[in-house]
Amino acid sequence: MIRPVNDSALALTRFWFWHLLYWLGYLLLKYTHLSLLIPLQQEAAFPYLATYTLITVINLSLTGWLGTRELARPCTPAQQLQRLAVWLMPLLLLLIPLRQYLLTHYAMKSGPDMMTHWSHYLVVGIPLVLLPLCGWVAVFLLMKLNFFTLQQLENRQQLLKQARQARLKVLRYQLNPHFMFNTLNALNSLIVSRKGLAAEDLIQQLSAFLRHSLKNQDDQWVPLREELQALEAYLAIQQVRFGERLVLDWQLSATKPMQLPPLLFQPMAEQAILWTVAEQSGPIHLHIELTEPCEPGEQAGMLQFIIRSDAAGTETQLWPASQVPASLQQLQERLELLFGSRASLTLLNPAFGFYARLNLPLEVLYAAHPARDRGR
């Protein structure tokens, strides 16, 4: 996977921040130590400070170049440690005699004893040069481990996001083939009966519904008005099929601008038709309600969409989960992927009249206006 350039630049910026902080902190600690210790020996502190400043600048520059080079290189901690040792060993061999030379010739009061014990001071100086480099190696390995841990976490989140988007597309594009079959049969009946105007109206409604179904290829949310127009087109097609047996009662009190995922209402309307007018004789009244409850309570702050038949009550038992139709199960899965636990779909047993209620969080719907990619 190709990662954004901004992520690498951010990791490099973090590295240089901690890199500079480490070496400047080391230099500050050394300054404090020398400024307190050297005057007690009745020697000038400046040569010592200048020596350690030069050594720190060399360390800062070479380890900075090395860290920039090695930060994004994928390798195990053991391999990385080996690579750092290959580069830092020559630096260590350079800095030890350089430090001793500068201290001997410019800082310490040289004399016969000093030159005689030059090798002794050289050996004593090894840990003073080695320990800061070892500390930098530890800090660098921690930074690199953090960098790759965050990288793997972001990659995993990106894969989960892509899988969720792919699943949403699959669920959204599952158009019931029976709906197309029945619509085409109804269209054929109108043509045979020479009802040209009714057939033309049916084609226009079918075209409007399919256009809404197939648009927004990138999971863009749509205005509430467009979603309602698609629902009206779908139910108009069903009215052509069933004629006077299907009576619709629209109660739309929620008209504020907001955005929502496409085709949330259609599966509920499809099942309402299937469990009422398609299975029963006589006229069927379906009530379609869209409201924003303002009273304090469980449903406050939710957009509420209800579709119910006349016979439906609100106190009957819930629809058994094992018997819920596939299209409504897919709708529940979409809601969970899009809203988590903030949205809900309530289904009552259709044996007592069809009743389905969809609750969507208004805060999310308002935040999505104007239309933009949600990509949650």
What distance in Å separates the CA atoms of residue 291 and residue 308, rounded to the nearest whole number? 14
| Domain match, 249 and 155 both | no
| Residue 25: C-alpha distances to residues 31, 37, 46, 130 (Å) | 10, 18, 19, 16
Give the other-Cβ count within 10 Å of 140's Cβ.
Answer: 22
| Domain match, 150 and 248 both | no
Residues 265-289 have pLDDT tens digits of: 988 998 898 888 877 778 889 999 9
Residue 360 is assigned to a structural domain of this protein: yes
| Domain match, 198 and 253 both | yes
Residues β-bridged to residue 246: 284
In 3D space, the residue among 345, 344, 273, 356 whose CA is nearest the CA of residue 314 turns out to be 356
CATH number at residue 355: 3.30.565.10
Average pLDDT over residues 315-325: 82
What is residue 336's predicted lDDT score, i.e. its pLDDT?
Answer: 86
Residue 127 is assigned to a structural domain of this protein: yes
| Domain match, 23 and 54 both | yes
Mean pLDDT rounded to a whole number for the chain: 80
| Domain match, 298 and 336 both | yes
Residue 372 is assigned to a structural domain of this protein: no
| Domain match, 211 and 98 both | no
| Domain match, 132 and 200 both | no
Residue 80 is assigned to a structural domain of this protein: yes
Residue 375 is assigned to a structural domain of this protein: no
Residues of the chain with pLDDT > 70, as a percent, come to: 79
Burial of residue 81 (number of CB atoms within 10 Å: 0-12, 13-18, 19+): middle
| Domain match, 177 and 116 both | no
Residue 363 is assigned to a structural domain of this protein: yes
Six token digits for residue 192 = 């045979």
Whole-structure pTM value? 0.55
Task: Point out the domain boundary residue: 109, 140, 168.
Answer: 168
Domain tally for the chain? Answer: 2
What is residue 298's predicted lDDT score, i.e. its pLDDT?
Answer: 57
CB 248 within 8 Å of CB 288 = yes
Residues ≥6 apart with Cβ < 8 Å to 319: 347, 348, 349, 350
Task: Point out the domain boundary residue: 150, 168, 186.
Answer: 168
Residues 193-216 have pLDDT tens digits of: 777 887 888 888 888 777 776 665
| Domain match, 117 and 60 both | yes
Average pLDDT over residues 92-116: 71
- Higher-scoring residue by pLDDT: 100, 219: 100
Residue 188 is assigned to a structural domain of this protein: yes
Full residue range of the structural domain in which residue 134 is found: 5-168
Average pLDDT over residues 324-348: 87
| Domain match, 160 and 189 both | no
Helix axes of 177-192 and 196-214: crossing angle, nearest 10 degrees: 160
Backbone angles phi, psi at 213, to 5 degrees: -70, -35
Task: Point out the domain boundary residue: 168, 199, 217.
Answer: 168
What is residue 262's predicted lDDT score, i.e. its pLDDT?
Answer: 83
| Domain match, 160 and 273 both | no
Average pLDDT over residues 354-375: 75
Average pLDDT over residues 315-322: 80
In 3D space, the residue among 212, 205, 325, 343 whose CA is nearest the CA of residue 272 turns out to be 325
| Domain match, 181 and 152 both | no
Residue 373 is assigned to a structural domain of this protein: no
